[in-house]
Amino acid sequence: MTVVGPFGLSVQDRDLTRDVQYGMDAVENALTEAVKSDVPFITLTASHLMEAGGKRFRPLLVLLSAQFGDANAPGVVPAAVVVELTHLATLYHDDVMDEAPVRRGAPSANSRWDNSVAILTGDFLFSRASQVLADLGPDAVRLQADAFERLVTGQILETAGPGPDDDPLRHYLDVLAGKTGSLIAVSCRIGALLAGAEPWVVDILSAYGERIGIAFQLADDVLDIASDGHESGKTPGTDLREGIPTLPTLLLQQLPVDESDPADLRLRELVAGSLDDDELHAEALRLLRRHPALELARRETLRHAEEARALLAPLPEGPAKEALQGLCDAVAIRTM
């Protein structure tokens, strides 16, 4: 039996399909309860992004990583809930910092209400994640705390920007490792740990999680330029409009200027200026979609996905390993 799940992931094994689907259903039910408050308005704001959808990538990785131990261990589903609540909380805060009007195809919380509501709702979700986490033991608490520190550090690095002697692309990848890779790495680590997997297996899955997390974020960078917005659930070129560096624009800056190509010169002129004007923004998007920098961004994304796949090699063969390898294939599909 084949079930197509998040990110186009195909799960071929009947038992794994059943286990993962059962776990994801349990996570979804627990998330619904976790966002409820005695104050109806908080329930409304806290459930806003959850009800808008989302692929539940982090809970999926918790459940798949748990397959390398006792997948039915009592802490596995709560751990999946913790990482998703944490992720949801960061989205509320990210949208405030980015002034994003749309998230997951719906109005962002800050645009539907205001920045204060969005920030406080994110804080509420962090508190609910902490309540669930407290029952999972000190090791799980420490893992989440370390991941959250890295996440915040990555956000601060992004806000501060690269120093005068820093390579902007290297700085950007360091930001992604913190902002995105840290929570995905801990999703794999905590799932395997609470399932009682061998320590060396836990370490491999954690390293894989960070690498595949970066690959998916880089794929999002490509999608933000190449897609019409339906795939990402965000307005295309949002970061481009705001002047936020992403993989395609950073690679554009590293490529030598082609003085003989008017399109290359015009694109660089546009990217260096303000893109608040809709027509200029649309022109920049159109030119970047045709520029070699976008193809280079695709190749760099695939390189990270292949590095993630290579990390899995020592793990025992089986459906769970095949599913994790399938996520590497899904990166390629998303960047086509």
Residues 44-94: tens digit of each pLDDT: 888 877 777 678 889 999 999 999 999 999 999 999 999 999 999 888 877
Mean pLDDT (the chain) is 88
Please give the full DSSP string across 64-114, using - where no structure is assigned: HHHTTS-TT-TTHHHHHHHHHHHHHHHHHHHHHHHT-SEETTEE-HHHHS-
Domain architecture of the chain: domains with CATH: 11-335 (1.10.600.10)
**Quick check: 94 and 234 in contact, CB under 8 A?**
no
If pLDDT is split at 50, 70 and 90, which confidence band does 3 have?
A: very low
Q: What pLDDT shows up at residue 234? A: 60
**Quick check: 35 and 27 in contact, CB under 8 A?**
no
Residues 204-225: tens digit of each pLDDT: 999 999 999 999 999 989 998 9
Q: What pLDDT shows up at residue 43? A: 87
Which range, of 32-46, 104-118, 258-272, averages the lowest pLDDT? 104-118
pTM tops 0.85: yes
Residues 4-56: tens digit of each pLDDT: 455 445 566 788 888 899 999 999 999 999 989 888 888 888 887 777 767 88
**How far, CA to CA in Å, does 43 sit from each of 33, 34, 46, 78, 335?**
10, 9, 5, 20, 36
